[in-house]
Amino acid sequence: MTSLLTCKEFLQELTDYLDSTVDAELRLKLERHINECPNCFVILDTTQKTIKVYKGMQPQEIPNEVHVRLMKAVERKMAAVKTAAGKPSV
Amino acid sequence: MPATTEAGVFDESGLLAKARDGDAAAFSELVNRYSRKIYRLAKHITQNDTDAEDVLQETFMKSFEHLGDFQGQSKFYTWIVRIAVNESLMKLRKRKSDRTVPLDEPLDTGEDTVVREIAVWDENPEQQYSREEMAKILDEAVESLKPAFRTVFVLRDIEELSTEETAQTLGISVPAVKSRLLRARLQLRERLTRFFRRKGDDVFAYL
């Protein structure tokens, strides 16, 4: 219980730790490891920042011509489905 | 330009009901709401503009066609993500004969979670680069991942699906999602460190 995790063991649990899905006992062990191991502290910190920087990334605008073709394709599909269903929209 | 309806931005059930009844404006609004994200997802997985555009069109055409099957236990977005992922994977498989690595390649269990770059990052790396530069760095890093890692990372950390939703969407186990996610995150961290490391820590800065 009191043994310190190795760096490899720490890395194996990193994703669960970052996603907060580890139990309290393991969390404590992982946190003890970070306190003792500056390298793993940096890895944890920069992995957290990696995730953050991707989550903050806004999708870019679709090129206009791609958007126009998309809307045309969707309109064609809507017209086709309506015809197949044979009922006028209410 | 689609008019934003009064029907509230957060509650989609009204829009969905109208779209199901064949209301073109309602469905167009849903398309406009999610097309950018679906296009990004398709580009990330297929890494090809033409394929991404095909996926984008197929996703919305299929979702309209099968709107009646959508039960509403999941979010509409999660549902169309699943369609888009399937379409994207089909594109990848079609290209299997070229350099693309198959998705079902055997993956060992973390032996190569190698960490080489250990350096503190700048407090706000976003401020060092323009929006475009930043997008390019992040996209290229994702592109460097193998497809099996890339798809998991894109679904979990960019599209923010849960571990279970990601497993269901890709038809793989929860432990497989976790192990691929770990390796994707570590590999991206490694790559981004080259751009975002705090300059003062660069040993060459002192020479």
Which residues of chain B neighbour A52 with C-beta distances below 8 Å?
Answer: none
How many other β-carbons are positioned within 10 Å of the β-carbon of residue B76?
19
| pLDDT confidence of residue B144 | 93
**Is the model's pLDDT at A33 over the cut of 90?**
yes
Backbone φ and ψ for B121, nearest 5 degrees, come out as: -90, 165
A34 inside domain: yes
A38 inside domain: yes
Confidence of residue B97 (pLDDT cuts 50, 70, 90): low
Residues of A with CB under 8 A from a CB of B: 11-12, 14-16, 18-19, 21, 39, 42-43, 45-47, 49-51, 53-57, 59-62, 66-67, 69-71, 73-75, 77-78, 81-82, 85, 87, 89-90
Q: Quick one: average pLDDT of B159-181?
A: 93
| Number of domains present in the structure of chain A | 1
Residues of B with CB under 8 A from a CB of A: 21-24, 27-28, 31, 35-37, 39-40, 53, 56-57, 60-61, 64-65, 110, 113, 115, 118-121, 125-126, 134-135, 138, 157-158, 160, 163, 178, 181-182, 185-186, 188-189, 192-193, 196
How many other β-carbons are positioned within 10 Å of the β-carbon of residue B10?
5
Q: Quick one: average pLDDT of A3-30?
A: 92
Report pLDDT digits (tens) over A45-74: 999 999 999 998 888 889 999 999 999 999
Higher pLDDT, B174 or B205: B174
Q: For residue A73, give how far its alpha carbon lies from the nearest alpha carbon of chain B (Å).
A: 7
Percent of chain B whose pLDDT exceeds 70: 82
Interface contact B115-A11, CB threshold 8 A: yes
**Is the model's pLDDT at B204 over the cut of 70?**
no
Confidence of residue B112 (pLDDT cuts 50, 70, 90): low
Report d(CA B85, CA B59) in Å as an integer. 9
Backbone φ and ψ for B197, nearest 5 degrees, come out as: -60, 145
Write out the two tokens for A76.
């064609």
Report pLDDT digits (tens) over B28-82: 999 999 999 999 999 999 999 999 999 999 999 999 999 988 877 778 999 999 9
| pLDDT confidence of residue B7 | 41
Residue A46 sits in which domain range? Answer: 7-85
Report pLDDT digits (tens) over B147-169: 999 999 999 999 999 999 999 99
Q: What is the pTM of this model?
A: 0.83
A58 inside domain: yes
* Structural domains for chain B: 13-94 (1.10.1740.10), 125-206 (1.10.10.10)
- Read off the CATH number of the domain in which A51 is found: 1.10.10
ipTM of the complex as predicted: 0.85
Interface contact B36-A60, CB threshold 8 A: yes
| pLDDT confidence of residue B99 | 52
A28 inside domain: yes
A77 inside domain: yes
Report d(CA B199, CA B116) in Å as an integer. 18
DSSP A12-76: HHHHHHHTT-S-HHHHHHHHHHHHH-HHHHHHHHHHHHHHHHHHTPPPPPPPHHHHHHHHHHHHH
